[in-house]
Structure 1
Amino acid sequence: MPYAISGGVNLFYESTGSGPAIVFVHEFAGDYRSWESQVRYLSRRFRCVTFNARGYPPSDVPDDIEQYSHAHAVTDIANVMRAANIASAHIVGLSMGGYAALNFAIAHPDKARSVVVTAAGHGSDDREQFLRDCDALAEKILSVGMEEGTADYANGRTRCRLKEKDPRGFDEFLRCFIEHSALGTALTARGFQMRRPTIYELETALRRLTVPALIVAGDDDEPCLAPALFMKRMIPDAQLWIVPHTTHQINLEEPDAFNRAVLDFATDVERRTQG
């Protein structure tokens, strides 16, 4: 298994295909396996790199909450790229991973050929409820374990369309989710999710961002709609795609449409860069 080292933390990653690189950054309830449909499709033209965030085995699970933050996530992306010998890449992230991808593009515009920010911004509105929910989820996971502790979260209103559209896909997502480390998941919720600034607090940085961006949200993923529109308005070179009849896990709910959108976007960026 290949690993990148990031501040003493071992991060598992995989690399498939050749060509310009795409680095995929998974969501809170996902891992590197969540991107399988994207890797199978996009690795025909691009080098696709997936990895597990800290706290998600087979990556290391630090037991100190100070080892979990959006700043660590940004550094981890950079160190995975370094280990894979990638100077610059298209960065594609979902939810927590979309937030990390966006902050990576802000911090390292020279390393980001483009950024796809998908289903990001949950907790930017109704902040206090979001914080209570994250803390309660972390506490429940630590008390009763992943399977029972995540049941309500995985079946919540922002994930309902996957279960409706693709029951087998939902079952696979759920099996992978409950395999995660309870400690790593709880510390990610409290260290990263609860401490990160809202999308709105990034306004100044977003206005200065020069990296081409594709902002994606499902029209039934209510917590992410206003942040998506805000990012579209703030980022100078941004496109916005609202996916109909879709909730949070857009790459799993609508893999064909998502794959094509990422392919078209990245190909266009490559054309503009070369031109």
Structure 2
Amino acid sequence: MNNQQLRTQFISQRPDPMEGSEWEHLFYTLISDYAGLSRFQFVQQLNDETPVEVVHQVQIALQRLMDHEPIQYILGYTQFLDLTINVGPGVLIPRPETEEWVSMLISSESNSADDETIKVLEVGTGSGCIALSIKHHLAGAEVTALDLSLEALKIARGNAGKLGLNCEFLQMDFTKASPSGTFDVLVSNPPYVRRSEAQWMRPNVLEHEPDLALFVPDDDALLFYRHLAVKGRKLLNPGGRIYLEINEYLSVEVSELFEDQGYEQVQVHNDLFGKPRCLTAMF
């Protein structure tokens, strides 16, 4: 089989709901990883024989994609800001919207980090992408990250070791316990999708990404924000800052919750799609 035939075979299997350009992008992402070829290089070599191993890898990946498995799980990694982060079915795949507000956090906190050590607590670290990005860019920061899932912590610790970044990862149910000490920054991308919203989500998310990291009950949608707001009062030093990802449909409710708990400078920031996505506040 040559490269042209492999591409034709892959493209012909495109699921109906998916845009052709998106499916083609997946193909070239696989080619880049498996064959080490850019799109331009591949197109220049359409008549060349495809190595048997590459054909086999692409065909296996094709079947997994047809089963709605995210390409990040198939490859075993994804990019988050300027870090390559290993991911698997036990952790949520980082989104571009999250990269955006984490970039804002890093920029906002960089002045503090230049003058003194800042202590950062992340609740619900998953793959560790947020905690590790903070540590990477704010080298003097002391970063502690919590997660309930032992599987997620294994992946996060593996990422820290691979990247040579020193963060403390702790197994903890934040709804039932709190870490010791106080912090200057509290960060979280908690579960915030209501079960009733699942009907609008893609199969690759519903069938493969962990429910634990996604969903909250419809009748208690502010569950994690309530714990963050209340416990943050004890965990944060005076002048401490909060950065949270939020449900676009609940920005008003989350803002009121933090205002009622006495936080100041409560602000909601829109993401790159113009949707409310991040809440910041000061204690």
Settle same-fold status: TM greater than 0.5. Answer: no
Q: Structure 2-normalised TM-score?
A: 0.32
User: Which of 1 and 2 has higher RCO (CA within 8 Å, sep 6+)?
Assistant: 1
Structure 1 or 2, whichever has the larger Rg, is: 2
